[in-house]
Amino acid sequence: EAQVTQNPRYLITVTGKKLTVTCSQNMNHEYMSWYRQDPGLGLRQIYYSMNVEVTDKGDVPEGYKVSRKEKRNFPLILESPSPNQTSLYFCASSLHLGTQYFGPGTRLTVL
Amino acid sequence: DQQVKQNSPSLSVQEGRISILNCDYTNSMFDYFLWYKKYPAEGPTFLISISSIKDKNEDGRFTVFLNKSAKHLSLHIVPSQPGDSAVYFCAAGGSNYKLTFGKGTLLTVNP
């Protein structure tokens, strides 16, 4: 089954404790992206990657890092999480311009 | 500056009637547009798209209209069904794989 998976689905952590949210797709898509969804703000792009070893900032990259060492994986790293990074995070992938396929989401709470 | 705007946070319609969701954009470099549907606790799912060279695209009960001169698009759902109740996101993209999303409109279809 073609899908985008994210882990963990739910995470509660404390300020300053490094964490990684994994994202994996099995569709051989070149393009992958991370978004965060906040009430009243919709979906905002954090980082995106157009291929292996090619990443670029989205609209809200501060406080986040990404890497794309393999085509299928695109982890999101929070080196020192803060409460304002409490949010719902989505990973997405696409083969070409247009339709992006989204993962189920990761709800992160930073205390 | 918000490049993609959905000015109605919510919309309520009766089952069987037409639902019209609106979206405005400011960036004339956008050349394709998409609508995504999102249920609670799930990732957004692709609904329908339209290229800037078209003014209408239809898929079953869903039709998207694009007015380039007004920088406006709309999604029509006819007839509306209770299962259509969800948050609908408008998104726009250009040549760089980057999608910009609106804040979303919560559609409620009442039986």
| pLDDT tens for each residue of A9-19 | 999 999 999 99
Q: Sheet containing B62-67: give its strands across.
A: B4-5, B19-25, B72-77, B62-67, B56-59
pLDDT in tens, B45-55: 999 999 999 99
Binned at pLDDT 50, 70 and 90, residue A97 comes out as: low
Say if residue B95's pLDDT is above 80: no
For residues A110 and A13, what is the distance between their CA atoms, to the nearest angstrom?
5
Radius of gyration of chain B, Cα coordinates, nearest whole angstrom: 13
Say if residue A28's pLDDT is above 70: yes
- The reply to whether residue A42 touches residue B103, judged by beta carbons under 8 angstroms, is yes
Say if residue B67's pLDDT is above 90: yes
Q: In sequence order, what are the residues at sequence separation of 6 or more whose Cβ sits closer than 8 angstroms to the Cβ of residue B88? A: B6, B21, B35, B36, B37, B38, B47, B75, B104, B105, B106, B107
Contact B15, B81 (CB under 8 A): yes
Q: Stretch B46-68: mean pLDDT, rounded?
A: 95
Contact B59, B87 (CB under 8 A): no
In whole angstroms, what separates CA A53 from the centre of its chain? Answer: 16
Say if residue A5's pLDDT is above 70: yes
Closest CA to A106 of A49, A71, A64, A59: A64
A56 burial (CB, 10 Å; 0-12 / 13-18 / 19+) is: middle
Tell me the nearest-neighbour CA distance from A72 into chain B, angstroms: 17
Per-residue pLDDT at A29: 93
Measured between CA atoms, the residue of chain A closest to residue B47 is A99
For residues B50 and B65, what is the distance between their CA atoms, to the nearest angstrom?
8
Q: Stretch A35-41: mean pLDDT, rounded?
A: 92
* Pair type for strands B4-5 and B56-59: unpaired
Contact B71, B26 (CB under 8 A): yes
The mean pLDDT of chain A is 94
Provide the chain A residues 39-78 that lie in CB contact (below 8 A) with chain B: 40-45, 48, 50, 58-59
Per-residue pLDDT at A95: 83
